Structure 1
Amino acid sequence: MNELFEQVTLGKLDLPNRLVMAPMTRSRAVGGLVTDLTAEYYAQRAGAGLIITEGTQPSVIGQGYIDTPGLHAREQAEAWRRVTDAVHERGGRIFVQLMHSGRVGHPCLYPDGALPVAPSAIASGGQIYTHDGMLDHPTPRPMTLDDIASTVEDFVTAATYAMEAGFDGVELHAANGYLLHQFLCGSANARSDAYGGSVENRIRFAVEVAQAVSDAIGPERVGMRISPANGNNGIDERDSADVYPALMRALAPYELAYVHVMEFGSREITKLVRAAWPGTLILNPHATGQEAKVTPEAATAVLREGLCDAVSLATLWLANPDLPERIRAGGPYNEADPSTFYGGGHRGYTDYPTVAAR
């Protein structure tokens, strides 16, 4: 039997297969609220061993893009409840990804035009798409110690709302150049206090968030996503081989449900993380080959190599709501339409056909 269809334990969940739906921003939550269309989208993909939602801001100041969902108010939790109910009715399991964007934000997203916050006053060098065109990310406001403490509490509050909303757990986004990743990386973190400088100091914030959220909802309901050496959003990470094994060792005592590695072309760092992390590991493998696409065959290969316990895929899930059935049948696979990735309605969201519908 294909290794992708073996059962695996994640926290206290017994997953029926090792196929994980990776988090993908879709920008269809106007006003920060998910909709019935969101519920349909995720329910269609309930055949995944685990669904991890799109990045969801744990606070107003944590938002990084237009029309992304939040989980810092009861109204938002109530909206998400429709999603979790729909997924569970189809027999699925779903974690919400809590994503604070840090410096990858803009005053146009926040009340009174506030600046985004970050470990240091270092701009990402990138831009944000808005309905009025592209805008530069500004230089962020460096976080005070009080800001850091309150942001930890924001993650706890969001995780508590996630439980009220019926999620099976939360994933803490410490990847892709967002806030937790910014603290990990020396090019974004020039602090001289207990949260900057040494590797031990730079991992401190991520560990404190993981500990606080685990204390609040149980470590078996908490995962963390990392992306060693990923240069997204202005990150220049040159000591990944030191940072991530240290982070894994620091997180190990909390017995999180999983660590989720978004691989960025460095298989050797993946191996270092695998060796340092004693728990369940989900791998989003990097693409290889001329087409630069992660295939089901590549997903099976990393399981056979023992690099991970489950494999997350992204675009394949986006375009193929019945992905497990298609993998079992050897395809064919729908091609994703990039023009519909962000924003819009049902087109390119809930209208991809299943094999049964052909």
Structure 2
Amino acid sequence: MSKLFDSVRVGRYTLSNRLVMAPMTRSRAQADGTPGELAAEYYAQRASVGLIVTEGTQPSEDGQGYLTTPGIYSDAHVAGWKKVTSAVHARGGHLFIQLMHAGRMSHPDNTRHHRVGVAPSAIAPGTAMFTASGMQDIPVPRALTTEEIRQTVQDFRTAARRAVDAGADGVEIHGANAYLVQQFFAPSANTRTDVYGGSLENRARFALEVAAAIAGEIGADRTAIRLSPGTTLWGIDEGAQGPDLYRYLVAELDKLGLAWLHIAHQGNEALMTDIRKLWKGALIVNRAGRPREQIGADVATGLADLESYGQMVLANPDFVTRLQRNAAMNAADRNGFFGGAAQGYTDYPSLSEVASA
């Protein structure tokens, strides 16, 4: 595990350790998408990890899917995120804002514009979503026109610029977990017959165009992407060609010289090994539910350069210190995951607070 605490170069930055706070939706933004009042404290508390990747942040109005998620497309959003980035930097941390377009994973009741979601094709995910009035089925999305896809690429570009204007060290494109970018990959969500559908090269096109546009705007060394090969969330089925799509996609992304590739590993070890060979830059691996005794295993074997963690960092603002001291971890309060105020958000005690209590 000791290698986890070594510094590492990622993009244009040298990080103090190889531990990453994974992106986690917390649903505590203001109604207009500005980060909530406690967001700066929340992220700053966790600034001892080498890298923070924020909760998914919509790059446009149509990018929103869930209640009270933050945006990064207005002046108010920039001002709100400046408080967050300043607080993290004051504690020596690095923070990338994750750009997340929910695509068809959206409900009109969760957005200010009350429109149905947009997607590669007009195919509903076949699942329900939480809204202010309870769980509701997600309606059939509206298929994007070819011109609207191109505009969405520009929305990502503009959002990346605004993120940097807000003081973020860079952005991570959310290409995982059944949201818009991954919807283009999956034949179950993408039945297009234009240049964005059909062949695996066409289905990878949107992700590559977004990554290239952002890299051209803020620099490849401040641009990253997260993928979850093989996930079957919410109607996503990448089919038999799925592994080959990712081999092609990763090889093409590698040509851009991005800051890192972040893999939410779904268990296909052969594909993971191929990705490691294809990707020459920094590789972050996230394994959901990784037990405490396996922390550091992927860095130790060379499969990963960094490892990301969600709930353990959420519940332990001093996650790094607890690992170094082999100390017990706080348990995550699931009741405080989404929405609310300080409880389950900024009130988890550090070791020093426990000792002085």
- Tell me which interval the TM-score lies in, with the shorter structure as reference length: over 0.9
Paired-residue identity, %: 48
Which residue of the partner structure matches residue 256 of structure 2? 254
Q: How does 1:1-358 map to 2 (within 5 A)?
A: 2-31=2-31, 32-238=33-239, 239-286=241-288, 293-358=289-354
* Equivalent residue letter for 1:24: M
Which residue of the partner structure matches residue 289 of structure 1? none
Question: Is the deviation greater in 8-17 or in 297-306?
Answer: 297-306
Cα distance in structure 1, aligned partners of 2:26 and 2:191: 32
**How big is each residue's C-alpha offset from its partner over 1:162-212, in whole Å with a ceiling of 9 and x where there is no partner?**
011000000000000000000011111111111111110000000000000
The offset of 1:273, in angstroms, is 1.3
Residues matched between the structures, number: 352
Question: Is the deviation greater in 152-161 or in 265-274?
Answer: 265-274
Q: Which contiguous aligned blocks of 4+ residues in structure 1 show a shift greater than 4 angstroms?
A: none
- TM-score when scaled to structure 2? 0.96
Cα distance in structure 2, aligned partners of 1:308 and 1:112: 41
Change (3 A) 1:201 1:317: same
* Equivalent residue letter for 2:242: S
Q: Secondary structure at the match of 2:55?
A: strand
Cα distance in structure 2, aligned partners of 1:111 and 1:133: 17
Assess if the C-alpha contact under 8 Å between 1:168 and 1:221 holds in 2.
yes
The offset of 1:107, in angstroms, is 1.8
The offset of 1:233, in angstroms, is 2.1
Cα distance in structure 2, aligned partners of 1:106 and 1:10: 36
Cα distance in structure 1, aligned partners of 2:72 and 2:134: 27
* Equivalent residue letter for 2:160: A
The offset of 1:36, in angstroms, is 3.2
Structure 1's unaligned 5+ residue stretches are 287-292
Assess if the C-alpha contact under 8 Å between 2:299 and 2:305 holds in 1.
yes
Cα distance in structure 1, aligned partners of 2:265 and 2:4: 18
The offset of 1:297, in angstroms, is 3.1
Assess if the C-alpha contact under 8 Å between 1:7 and 1:18 holds in 2.
yes
Cα distance in structure 2, aligned partners of 1:111 and 1:15: 38
Assess if the C-alpha contact under 8 Å between 1:33 and 1:76 holds in 2.
yes
* Equivalent residue letter for 2:317: P
Question: Is the deviation greater in 203-212 or in 180-189?
Answer: 180-189
Cα distance in structure 1, aligned partners of 2:50 and 2:8: 9
- TM-score when scaled to structure 1? 0.96
Assess if the C-alpha contact under 8 Å between 1:240 and 1:269 holds in 2.
no
Assess if the C-alpha contact under 8 Å between 2:107 and 2:131 holds in 1.
no
**How big is each residue's C-alpha offset from its partner over 1:298-343, in whole Å with a ceiling of 9 and x where there is no partner?**
2311111211100000000000000000001112000001111000
Assess if the C-alpha contact under 8 Å between 1:18 and 1:309 holds in 2.
yes
Q: Secondary structure at the match of 1:303?
A: helix
* Aligned-CA RMSD value: 1.1
Cα distance in structure 1, aligned partners of 2:291 and 2:15: 21
The offset of 1:266, in angstroms, is 2.1
Q: Secondary structure at the match of 1:254?
A: coil
The offset of 1:112, in angstroms, is 5.0
Q: Secondary structure at the match of 1:35?
A: coil
The offset of 1:296, in angstroms, is 4.2
Cα distance in structure 1, aligned partners of 2:287 and 2:53: 16
Q: Secondary structure at the match of 2:255?
A: helix
The offset of 1:115, in angstroms, is 1.8
The offset of 1:39, in angstroms, is 0.3
